[in-house]
């Protein structure tokens, strides 16, 4: 609930600042575009937070392939759109997202063979529940 409230307040602040401090359409587009670029880059690079663990354990067990592939393909499609429309606010973060997707897919390809898919670590296993016989 707190996160949703924070997002609504943040959006309201962006709208307020944009409308009251930037008076031309060009300035408003620049401010909102920069905010969008920042959050888009964060969205694309967030799966890379697992990269350190993947390299350390030489296992892609906790790095979902479908998320990495979707990340890459989404970036590619938006890059093509941005090139056609020549929109730098769409091009910049999605080009970085495409590169992020490539890094994730390469990492997945490199460490796929060394992943032990059957190994259940003790801390990864859900706690066992025993039912009484009564």
Question: Is the pTM of the predicted complex or chain greater than 0.85?
Answer: no
> Is residue 117 in some structural domain?
no
pLDDT for position 128: 61
Q: Which of 68, 10, 11 is nearest to 44 (CA)?
A: 68
Number of domains in the chain: 1
Residue 62 has pLDDT above 90, yes or no: no
pLDDT for position 120: 57
pLDDT for position 20: 92
> Is residue 127 in some structural domain?
no
| pLDDT band at 98; cut points 50, 70, 90 | very high
Residues 6 or more apart in contact with residue 91 via CB below 8 angstroms: 79, 82, 83
Q: Which of 79, 100, 101, 98 is nearest to 90 (CA)?
A: 79
- Provide the residue range defining the domain that includes 90: 2-111
> Is residue 119 in some structural domain?
no
């Amino acid at each position: 609930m707190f996160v949703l409230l924070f997002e609504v307040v943040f959006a309201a602040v962006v709208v307020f600042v944009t409308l009251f401090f930037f008076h031309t359409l060009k300035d408003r587009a620049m401010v909102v575009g920069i905010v969008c670029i920042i959050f888009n880059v964060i969205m694309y690079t967030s799966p890379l937070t697992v990269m350190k663990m993947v390299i350390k354990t030489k296992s892609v067990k906790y790095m979902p392939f479908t998320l990495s592939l979707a990340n890459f393909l989404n970036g590619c499609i938006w890059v093509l759109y941005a090139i056609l429309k020549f929109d730098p606010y769409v091009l910049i973060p999605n080009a970085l997202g495409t590169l992020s997707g490539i890094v994730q897919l390469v990492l997945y390809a490199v460490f796929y063979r060394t992943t032990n898919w059957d190994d259940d670590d003790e801390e990864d296993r859900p706690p066992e529940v025993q039912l009484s016989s009564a």
